[in-house]
Amino acid sequence: MSKQEVILCHELAESLMQAIDGCPHDRLFILTDEHTHRLCLPRLKEIPAISQAEEIVIGAEDVNKTLESLASVWQVLSQKGATRHSLLLNLGGGMVTDLGGFAAATFKRGISYINIPTTLLAMVDASVGGKTGINFNGLKNEIGAFAPARSVLLETEFLRSLDDRNFFSGYAEMLKHGLISTRTHLNELLAFDTEKIDYSLLKGLVGRSVSVKEEIVEQDPKEHGIRKALNLGHTVGHAFESLALAEKRPVLHGYAVAWGLVCELYLSYIKCNFPKDTMRAVIQFIKENYGAFAFNCKQYEQLYELMTHDKKNSAGVINFTLLKGVGDICLNQTADKESIFEMFDFYRECMGV
């Protein structure tokens, strides 16, 4: 899998023109959702190449990360004469970069694409690393492919328009990157003033967070080994997300990951002797900023069943990424059903649900 170029922009127009020029193409398409078409696309309209691009607009939010939306993108590409030499720009959050990347990976057996993430979650997670896909059959990212963008352009000025919920959704992935990297990086994330955001300081944190992911992906592009470290919090988090979707009370991905971190740090403490004080500090940050996902003991079986569908599993055994300490990663960890139910008990007790 080829390495993608990740650019922390100082001037978006200049960086985008360079990225487009570095990717020869016959036709240019730009994918947005209803929100980014209105709020973000106007910033690019002054760029001559963009003014000539064919626009594709899909519904916003993760509920539209579907086979139907994917087919609608293929349909426009086909109707407007896209070829194997065409280029797709994905302007939006993780839903747009995931779905757009998969559309590009599969149309004509693969066309080039560039990601321009507009949310914090997309910048530090979804748009980087080459994972693309859609939700299917009630399961998160069930269908997809490894297909890296030619370039990922990070323009943190887009983040000024984020509401609190979308900011914290992305920040959960940054916390995860802190936990799997260094104590210094984790501490600066826990200490960051999220009420009065210093955007110049945030830009540096985003750069460091993306570097953590890039370094891991470069070592293991297709998740055979160390890349599984990036799944910390996700085995339980995806189950929370799927349950919420099934009950028609959808939650943002980063919130589900944050709640998943609470559970998986507890498992790390029980099984790998992760430091209790660090666990408590991270859980306190999550409790203060994310609230809690409510469920009761009657839903343990359903959550367990959802966890058995996780892509990291082997032969039906639930597989976790856990930690011995900050940056000390334990891959391919398992837990029996009783331990997992005890984990749910701990979550509900400490989060007050």
CATH code, domain carrying 61: 3.40.50.1970
Q: At what angle do helices 276-290 and 164-179 cross, to 10 degrees?
A: 170
CATH code, domain carrying 172: 1.20.1090.10
| Whether 309 contacts 342, CB under 8 Å | no
Write down the pLDDT at residue 314. 76
Report d(CA 231, CA 216) in Å as an integer: 12
Length of the chain equals: 353
Examine the domain organization and report whether 222 and 331 are in the same domain. yes
Examine the domain organization and report whether 50 and 112 are in the same domain. yes
Of 107, 129, 161, which closes a domain? 161
Helix (H) or strand (E) holding 168: helix 164-179
Examine the domain organization and report whether 213 and 339 are in the same domain. yes
Examine the domain organization and report whether 266 and 229 are in the same domain. yes
pLDDT in tens, the chain (353 residues): 556 799 999 899 999 999 999 999 999 999 999 999 999 999 898 888 888 899 999 999 888 999 999 999 999 999 999 999 999 999 999 999 999 999 999 999 999 999 999 999 999 999 999 999 999 998 888 999 999 999 999 999 999 989 999 999 999 999 999 999 999 999 999 999 999 999 999 999 999 999 999 999 999 998 889 999 999 999 999 999 999 989 999 999 999 999 999 999 999 999 999 999 999 999 999 999 999 999 999 999 999 999 998 877 876 789 999 999 999 999 999 999 999 999 999 999 999 99
Of 137, 161, 185, which closes a domain? 161
| Whether 139 contacts 96, CB under 8 Å | no
Examine the domain organization and report whether 284 and 301 are in the same domain. yes
Examine the domain organization and report whether 170 and 52 are in the same domain. no
Report d(CA 157, CA 13) in Å as an integer: 13
Examine the domain organization and report whether 268 and 147 are in the same domain. no
Examine the domain organization and report whether 145 and 190 are in the same domain. no
| Whether 155 contacts 8, CB under 8 Å | no
pTM (global) more than 0.85: yes
Q: Which domain does 345 fall in, by range? A: 164-351
Examine the domain organization and report whether 145 and 255 are in the same domain. no
What's the structural domain count of the chain?
Answer: 2
Examine the domain organization and report whether 86 and 208 are in the same domain. no
Start-to-end CA span in the chain (Å): 43
Of 161, 179, 206, which closes a domain? 161
Examine the domain organization and report whether 176 and 123 are in the same domain. no
Examine the domain organization and report whether 132 and 192 are in the same domain. no
pLDDT tens digits for 201-258? 999 999 999 999 999 999 999 888 999 999 999 999 999 999 998 999 999 999 999 9
Report d(CA 219, CA 290) in Å as an integer: 32
